[in-house]
Chains A and B, each alone.
Chain A
Amino acid sequence: MTPSTLAGLAGAALVGLGLYGLVLHPHPLRKLLAFNLIGSGVFLVFGIVARRGAAAGLSFDPVPQAMVITGIVVAFAASALAVALILRLYSESGRVTLDPDAWTRPGPEDAK
C-alpha cells in the first residue's frame, strides 16, 4: 500500500470521525473541532488526488496543493468567526448551548 493510499484512507476515517462528533457533541466548540476534522480529512483525500495527478515531469500536481493551502487558511478564518460567535453567545446569555429547550429551562444566570 502506497503512502498516498494510506493517507487517503486516514482522510476517509477522519471525515467519518468528524461527522460523528459534529452530530453528537452538544457543545458548540466541540462541534467546531469535529467540523475541522472533517475539513482536514477532505484536504487529505484531495491531497491524494494531487499526488496521483503527477504529470508533466512534476512529482506532484501543484494545482490541488495550492487549493489545499488556500483551503486551510479559509478554514481558519471561518473557525475564528465561529469562536467569536460562541464567546459572544456566552457573554450575552451566560451559557453555551445550541439546545433550543435549554433556553426555557432555568439556567445558572436566572438564579442570580
Chain B
Amino acid sequence: MSLLPFLDIGLAFLVVTVACSTIITRDLFAAVVGYVAYGLLLAFVWIRLHAPDVALTEAAVGGGVTGVLLITAGKRLAAIKKAAPEAHPTTTLKLLTGALAALLACALAAAILMLPDVPPSLAPEAAAAASGPGAGLGNPITAVLISYRSFDTMLEKVVLILAVVGVWSVGADKAWGNPPAPLGRPGPYPAMVFLAQVLVPIGALIGIHVFWVGADAPGGAFQGGALLAAMWMVAMMARLGEPPRIDARWLRLALIAGPAVFLIIGLAGISIAGSFFAYPPGFAKPIILFIETFMVLSIAVALPMLVAGPPSEGNRP
C-alpha cells in the first residue's frame, strides 16, 4: 500500500487550511505571510499533478516574487491599519456571502466530479507542433509556449511591460525619471549582505541553468527569468545595488527586448517560413533559444521593476 494517497489528502487539506487562515485572520501582515506559504504549498500540488513547469513558475512567481511584493506593501500598510476605522460587515451579510461562496464551491466541485469520460484535448495538436515547427524541443510545454501558442506568449510579455508602465505612471509627476524607493532598510544589514553575497551568484547560475534546460526538461524562460529577477531583488534588498532610474536607456531597452525580438522573428516568419510566427524547419531550436534569451532578460528586468514600484520623490542620487 502506497503512502502517496495520504500525502495527497494531507497536502490538499493543508493548502485549504492555510488559505482559510489567510482569509479569517485579523492581522494584515499574518494574512500576507500566510499567502506566501500558501503559494509554496501550491507548488507541491502542481508537482503531484505532473506539472513541474507550472510548479516552478508557481514557486518562483506565485510564492516568491508575489511574496516580496505583498510583504513590502503589507509592512507599509500594517502600521496605519489601526488609524483607519473600517465599517465591519454585518452578520447577515456574512451569512449570505458564506452561502454564496459555498454554493459556488459546491457547483465547481460537482462539475469536476461529473466531467465527461472522454476528455477533449489539444494534446495531439500540441504534440504535432512539438515535432513539427518547434522541432527539436524535448519539453512539450516550451514547444507550446514558443511554437504552438507563440502569439499568446508574446502578448503576455507585452502585458508585463504594460503593467510596468502602469506602475510607473502611478507615481507623482515631479518624481518622473527618479529611481523607485530602495527595497531594503536604510543602513547596510550584515546578515542580509552576507546572504546576498552567497546566494546571488549561485541563484543566478541556477536561473540560467533552468532557462537553458527548459528546451528539453522542466524549466524555461519564465522560471529562469523569475529566478534571475529574485536574485536581483535580493541584491537590492541587501543594498548592494540600488533600483535604476526609470528613464535609464538600458532599462527600457531590456524591458522591450523580449517581445521586440519575438515580434521581429515572428514577422520574418511570413517571408521565410510562409506564415506569421512560423519557424524555418530544421532551424527552429536555435531560433527559439535566441528568442528565449531575450525573453529571460525582459522578465528578469520587468519583475523587480514591478516589485520596486513607482519612482519615488526625494533621495535622488
Binding site for B on A (CB under 8 A): 1, 3-21, 23-27, 29-30, 32-34, 36-37, 40, 43-45, 47-70, 72-81, 83-88, 90, 94-97, 99, 101-102, 107-108
Contact = CB atoms under 8 A, between A and B. Distances in A.
Nearest to B13: A10
Nearest to A40: B42
Contacts of B16: 10, 13-14, 17
A56 B182 CA distance: 50
Given A24-B93, A63-B144, A81-B166, A69 B53 contact: yes
A1 to B, nearest CB: 8
Given A9-B12, A37-B35, A40-B39, 12 more contacts: A4-B49, A7-B45, A9-B109, A13-B19, A18-B19, A24-B89, A51-B49, A58-B126, A66-B144, A70-B153, A95-B80, A97-B84
Which size class do B's interface residues fall under?
A: 35 or more
B84 A58 contact: no
Interface string B51-75: 1011001100110011001100110
B9 interface: yes
Contacts of B153: 70
Nearest to A28: B77
A48 to B, nearest CB: 6
Nearest to B16: A13
B316 interface: no
Contact of B167 (A24, A80, A108): A80
Nearest to A64: B122
Given A47-B51, A62-B143, A76-B61, A53 B119 contact: yes
Nearest to B34: A33
A96 B82 CA distance: 11
B112 A63 contact: no
Contacts of A53: 119-123
Contact of B105 (A3, A12, A64): A12
B145 A66 contact: yes
Contacts of A34: 23
A50 B144 CA distance: 13
A84 B167 contact: yes
B1 interface: no
A7 B149 contact: no
Nearest to B153: A70
Interface stretch (B155-163, B196-204, B248-256): B155-163
21 contacts: A6-B8, A6-B12, A12-B108, A14-B15, A17-B105, A29-B73, A29-B77, A33-B23, A40-B58, A45-B108, A48-B49, A52-B115, A52-B119, A61-B121, A63-B148, A65-B141, A66-B145, A70-B145, A74-B159, A76-B62, A90-B80
B247 interface: no
Given A24-B94, A29-B74, A99 B86 contact: yes
Contacts of A33: 22-23, 31-32, 35, 70
A7 to B, nearest CB: 5
Nearest to A60: B50
B121 A78 contact: no
Contact of A9 (B50, B62, B112): B112
A27 B122 CA distance: 41
Contacts of B307: 80
A19 B45 CA distance: 21
A62 to B, nearest CB: 4
